[in-house]
Chain A
């Protein structure tokens, strides 16, 4: 969370902002980040920064993959990386590893 605050503050300053009013993160299902844990520490980590009091939004991105055999798209985690349609074990990851600061609203 401290990393997020550092980067967001830097961007807000660059834009000449006085205050950040909203922060939007994108978190993939396979990013190994627990959204609840971020929410828990958000207030503490933003205290005394440009982000203090800013709304906090998290967009969850599912771990989607495409089967290398039949091109079926499925959730990799739910199906243990094995295509539920054809049983193929080759896959290509489409989404799910995101851990991005997507958007800031500033004044």
Chain B
């Protein structure tokens, strides 16, 4: 006779993904590569931000990009024109990148040759929040065209991001965007986030972002090979 047995445990649904993210983090640490997971709504200006950052810092840092979109290689084509190595992942019906996709994309890069790897996630403020890609920092771009209260509407993404770039600052006046109100909501949801307001198009405020980026890349390189990984 079979007997009903109850197995009680609490295992996270993402435990397999978490293992893969840990492996990635180790690989990135061995290469001393700073890895940033760029998340946002569609159209916040992530690709423009990358184009400008890569162009402006090309003499100082060796940078590469993994592009995630449902369809097309349009963003990868834009990045390729800056001269950086880029690999496009098309998720098709998928709404986020996961650690497995990033692991496979890595065969297109030589980590020992890199200072910074940007992973531009699929534009979506919901699903990418749940997927660790082994990054050092999650960088959220919020454009002022999206409204001040996005942090309250998508708290998970804002809670899980380390750096928040408030982009399209050049449009603040045209839109009547209340920057202080928005910064207040960001602080309410995530008081530890480092926040920069800037415009990737006009270049205003980019200097502070670059200073942070240089410093983070330097720190990561100095700890190259170290097993002690932040977080």
The answer to whether B11 and A105 touch across the interface, beta carbons within 8 angstroms, is no
Kindly name the residue among A32, A90, A97 whose own CB sees the greatest number of chain B CB atoms within 10 A: A32
From A103, which residue of chain B is reached at the shortest CB distance?
B8
Flag whether A6 is at the interface (Cβ < 8 A): yes
The answer to whether A3 and B191 touch across the interface, beta carbons within 8 angstroms, is no
Which residues of chain B have C-beta atoms less than 8 A from A6's C-beta? 16
CB<8 Å pairs between A and B, sample of 5: A3-B16, A81-B188, A90-B191, A103-B9, A106-B5
Alpha-carbon separation in the docked complex, A103 to B156 (Å): 26
Residue pairs across A and B with CB atoms within 8 Å: the count is 75
Flag whether A17 is at the interface (Cβ < 8 A): yes
Alpha-carbon separation in the docked complex, A25 to B14 (Å): 13
Partner of A107, one of B3, B12, B16, B152: B3
Known: A31-B130, A32-B156. 18 other contacts (CB 8 A): A3-B16, A3-B17, A4-B13, A7-B13, A77-B155, A81-B152, A89-B188, A90-B191, A99-B14, A100-B13, A101-B9, A101-B11, A101-B12, A103-B7, A103-B8, A105-B6, A106-B4, A107-B3
Which residues of chain A have C-beta atoms less than 8 A from B189's C-beta? 81
The answer to whether B155 and A81 touch across the interface, beta carbons within 8 angstroms, is yes
Q: How many residues of B contact A (CB 8 A)?
A: 27
Interface range on chain A: under 10, 10 to 19, 20 to 34, or 35 or more?
20 to 34
Which residues of chain B have C-beta atoms less than 8 A from A99's C-beta? 12-14, 130
Q: Which of B1-34 contact A (CB under 8 A)?
A: 2-17
The answer to whether A107 and B4 touch across the interface, beta carbons within 8 angstroms, is yes
Per CB-CB distance, the 5 closest pairs between chain A and chain B, nearest first, are A107-B2, A89-B188, A104-B7, A100-B10, A99-B13
The binding surface of chain B is classed by DSSP as mixed
Whether A18 touches B2, Cβ cut-off 8 Å, given contacts A81-B188, A89-B188, is yes
Chain A interface residues (CB < 8 Å from chain B): 3-4, 6-7, 11-12, 15, 17-18, 21, 25-26, 30-32, 76-77, 80-82, 89-90, 97, 99-107
Instruction: With both chains docked as a complex, state the minimum distance between the C-beta of B14 and any C-beta of chain A, in angstroms.
Output: 7
Which residues of chain A have C-beta atoms less than 8 A from B49's C-beta? none
Which residues of chain B have C-beta atoms less than 8 A from A15's C-beta? 5, 7
Can you list, as one digit per residue, whether each of B125-147 has a CB less than 8 Å from chain A (1) or not (0)? 01101100000000000000000
The answer to whether B17 and A26 touch across the interface, beta carbons within 8 angstroms, is no
Which residues of chain A have C-beta atoms less than 8 A from B13's C-beta? 3-4, 7, 25, 99-101
Alpha-carbon separation in the docked complex, A19 to B231 (Å): 38
Whether A17 touches B5, Cβ cut-off 8 Å, given contacts A3-B16, A81-B155, is yes
Instruction: With both chains docked as a complex, state the minimum distance between the C-beta of B183 and any C-beta of chain A, in angstroms.
Output: 12
